[in-house]
Chains A and B, each alone.
Chain A
Amino acid sequence: NAGVTQTPKFQVLKTGQSMTLQCAQDMNHNSMYWYRQDPGMGLRLIYYSASEGTTDKGEVPNGYNVSRLNKREFSLRLESAAPSQTSVYFCASSEVGGGQGEQYFGPGTRLTVT
């Protein structure tokens, strides 16, 4: 039981490049989330998916897109990376949605945009 896995662990992009961050969970959870973590800013929600086939914007969605590929997988795409997107990205999942239950976090992806 791996929990929540994320790939890659580290990535360096040049401004304007695109990439997709992958996330998968093996706990059969309905809800999945993408956060970014910046120093002194805590965890800010980018997008979330309450169930397979649905996605909604969080607090900071600009510059990102998501895909809930199936119940297990939730990917985050940066179409044209900017230095302001340098951050650590965490994927999470929960059995109960709407922020009403424990979230299980992946190990994170550290992204640097130069």
Chain B
Amino acid sequence: GENVEQHPSTLSVQEGDSAVIKCTYSDSASNYFPWYKQELGKGPQLIIDIRSNVGEKKDQRIAVTLNKTAKHFSLHITETQPEDSAVYFCSSGGSYIPTFGRGTSLIVHP
């Protein structure tokens, strides 16, 4: 089955800095790559996604890049703010069922 690796597990930045979280996947048939944000005590919520026919997608301060040849995709957050502090999960929509990375705890210090 699909295997999704996510790094780093913890990321600490100063407010205003950029943050980058990286994921790799194994199933070459995967073609949908969402990112979810989970705030404390809540369920995950989609923040951005990308399909395999594009290499990059932006939405204000967040962007996702995809390299299908290398089988990796990344989440980029610019001008981080304290409210960006949360756990972020990448996911790969493989040929059958969704698979999630283990999560990255992002801490933004004011």
Known: A59-B1, A107-B42. A99 touches B102 (CB 8 A): no
Q: Which candidate, B44-52, B57-65, B73-81, is the interface stretch facing chain A? A: B44-52
* Distance, CA A108 to CA B91, complexed state (A): 19
For the complex formed, measure the closest distance between the CB of A1 and the CB atoms of chain B, giving whole angstroms: 15
- Range for the number of chain A residues in contact with chain B: 20 to 34
Q: Which range holds the interface residue count of chain B?
A: 20 to 34
Considering only residues 1-60 of chain B, those with a C-beta below 8 Å from chain A are: 1, 6, 9, 31-32, 34, 36, 41-46, 49
In the complex, the chain A residue whose C-beta lies closest to that of B4 is A42
- Minimum CB–CB distance from B35 to chain A (whole Å) comes to 11
Residues of B within 8 A of A101 (CB): 32, 93
B97 within 8 A of partner (CB) = yes
Decide yes or no whether A105 CB sits under 8 A from chain B: yes
Residues of A with C-beta under 8 A to B89: 42-43
Binding site for B on A (CB under 8 A): 4, 33, 35, 40-45, 48, 58-59, 90, 92, 98-103, 105-108
Known: A98-B95, A103-B36. 6 other contacts (CB 8 A): A35-B100, A43-B44, A99-B91, A100-B32, A101-B32, A105-B43
The 3 closest A-B pairs by CB, nearest first: A99-B98, A105-B43, A99-B93
